[in-house]
Amino acid sequence: MRDKWPSRFTFILASIGSAVGLGNAWRFPGLAAKHGGGAFLFAYIIAMVVIGMPLLMMELSIGRKMKAGSPVALKGLRKGGEYIGWAATANAFVIVTYYAAVFAWVILMALLSFKFASMTGTSTGIEQAENLWANSINTTWGTSLFGQGSQIPLLLLISLAIAWFAIYYCIKDGASSVSKVVKYTVFIPVILLVILALRGFTMGNTGAAMKALFVPKFEAFKEPTIWVDAIGQAFYSLSIMMAIMIAYGSFLDDKSNIVEDVMIIAISDFLTSVLSGIVLFTTMYGCGMTVDDMSASGISTAFLIYPMAIVQLTDVGWINAVFGFIFYMMLITLTIDSAFSIVEGISASISDKYGISKKKTTVGIILVAAVISLIYVTGSGVAWLDIVDNWTNQYNLLIVGVLECVLVGWFFKPKKVLKEINKNTNKLKMPAFWFYAAVMVIAPLALLGLTVWNIYILIAQNDGLYGGYPLYANIVGWIITFLAFMSGFIVKLITKFNPRLRALAWHAEQKFKTWEQLDEEEAEAKAQQADTPVEIVEESVKADGVLLDTAVMQDAVTEQEVVKPKTRNTKKAVSEKADK
């Protein structure tokens, strides 16, 4: 039997946990600082409403309808859709290998937060805080895997093991174990963010911080990069096109209200981003810094810049250490939900394809990904993480988005998907013009435009080499992109030439049907229900203090005609019986 969310509340929490991650905590504030504060907030809201929410509704509705992971679900729309599903799944697998390393960095900094106490009030304390993370992970900032570039600090290795164990523990029993975890991991970071925000408001210079965050600089709208970054942030922030939300949708009850749920998820995601922005802006401005000291890079913000602010929060070392621990604990709770949701999406894709136990599939995925993730905790890990992150997010994820929108909007019937989205809704529905425009035109063109823009920047401004890294490192990035989009063909070949996998895939495929077949079954079920030849009418009549129950059954029916009982005659008969 397929997993199901224990309740609507659990599903919403799990989806919020997946959507709200490190991008909200460190990338959003950096982009707001880069693009004129309120100007970026406005652009982000537009991107979220026009593109983000329709695509999230689309993926959840596909998952709920097909009751399958991304490859099988998209195959149910059109046969070639399976290849798009595997591309999304393969790309998600690559992402989780380095996301776990970032998780390990955050755990490491939480463990080392006590060191902020000794750095407070010293002449070199700010510099020590800035270098704490880099020195602790022993990074070379380069790509060479020889010498120091191949070394792994013991404490970082332990942190990575803790990260993978935490991921496994959260999803070991599928939706049921996730439901137990998200009750804490969704609310704890909000509480910690509020604590940090309150501290930021008491530091002084709050007015300047709030002005920088919320008052728009209208000249920022002249720069096309504000829309590029706003669309990108909205797209990445909702966990779409990563096989996650189709899998989460497949665990939904058929009576769920997707439109309302998506609105709750999107609003929660946005408010968390704004709260994170308040924390960073008030803290930075309270320490005498400005937007010029902030970075659009999440890694720089969390591991280099914010530690400098931590040691300047107060003149009391242990208090600064406590706030440092709170900050990194907040990042831990944000990271874990996103990390295990990625694994859940991958696991659903594979288990649905071959009918393998989800628990065994999850264990296999984690073991393989854990081994690969070791490269990111070596001395050269930061550089390789930056490279892989660039290709998986700036190219692969966007191209998957384009292909999925084209599949639904042009090679399937978006009207059917919209009908599924608006199923169980009341007054609040997804308007047809909005959904069609988003899926068929705006989203694919915007995502394609982002991809072209990224390629233009790579060639025009960086001479074809990302980040100044050597040619061989950039080739690795393009190989990852190539393999991601070839993954569907690779899976097909492996399945074809492996008798056991071929048999498993065949048996598993018998359980799933195309969207059209499911529609036909639903239509037949409704027709049979409408033509049911037996009707039972129950009425209760109270006479002389006694409640009499009467059932009237029609048992003489011909194939041509169904005679329905007449309510008036039934009531009359019951009344006469009661009088007697």
**What pLDDT is recorded for position 532?**
59
Residue 333 predicted with pLDDT over 70: yes
- Joined tokens for residue 419: 């009908």
Query: How far apart are the C-alpha atoms of 187 and 183, rounded to whole Å?
Result: 7
550: enclosing H helix or E strand: strand 546-553
Query: How far apart are the C-alpha atoms of 330 and 185, rounded to whole Å?
Result: 9
Output the 3-class SS for 115-167. HHHHHCCCCCHHHHHHHHHHHHHCCCCCCCCCHHHHCCCHHHHHHHHHHHHHH
Q: What is the pLDDT of residues 350-377, one digit of tens each?
A: 999 999 999 999 999 999 999 999 999 9
CB burial of residue 196 (10 Å; 0-12, 13-18, 19+): buried
Q: Are 93 and 365 in contact (CB under 8 A)?
A: yes
Query: How far apart are the C-alpha atoms of 146 and 225, rounded to whole Å?
Result: 38
- Count Cβ atoms below 10 Å from residue 467 Cβ, excluding itself: 14
Residue 295 predicted with pLDDT over 90: no
Q: Are 176 and 1 in contact (CB under 8 A)?
A: no
Cβ neighbors of 363 (< 8 A, separation 6 or more) are: 168
Q: Are 466 and 390 in contact (CB under 8 A)?
A: yes
For 413-452, give one letter per residue: b (16+ CB within 10 A) or e: ebebbbebbbbeeeeeebeeebbbebbbebbbebbbbbbe
The residue type found at 520 is E
Domains of the chain: 8-499 (1.20.1740), 534-579 (no CATH)
Q: How many CA atoms lie within 13 Å of 423's alpha carbon, on the beta-carbon side?
A: 19
Query: How far apart are the C-alpha atoms of 424 and 429, rounded to whole Å?
Result: 9
Say whether 289 sits in a helix, a strand or coil.
Answer: coil
Q: Which of 234-243, 389-398, 534-543 has the lowest mean pLDDT?
A: 534-543
Q: What is the pLDDT of residues 452-505, one digit of tens each?
A: 999 999 999 888 999 999 999 999 999 999 999 999 999 999 999 999 999 999
Q: Are 303 and 137 in contact (CB under 8 A)?
A: no
Say whether 541 sits in a helix, a strand or coil.
Answer: strand
Q: How many CA atoms lie within 13 Å of 115's alpha carbon, on the beta-carbon side?
A: 18
pTM over 0.85: yes
**What pLDDT is recorded for position 36?**
85
- Mean of pLDDT values over 44-53: 95
More confident residue, 165 or 529: 165
Query: How far apart are the C-alpha atoms of 131 and 141, rounded to whole Å?
Result: 13
> Helix, strand, coil proportions of the chain in percent (round to 5)?
75, 5, 20
Query: How far apart are the C-alpha atoms of 222 and 455, rounded to whole Å?
Result: 21
Q: What is the pLDDT of residues 203-237, one digit of tens each?
A: 888 999 999 999 998 888 888 889 988 998 988 88
**What pLDDT is recorded for position 236?**
85
- Count Cβ atoms below 10 Å from residue 580 Cβ, excluding itself: 5
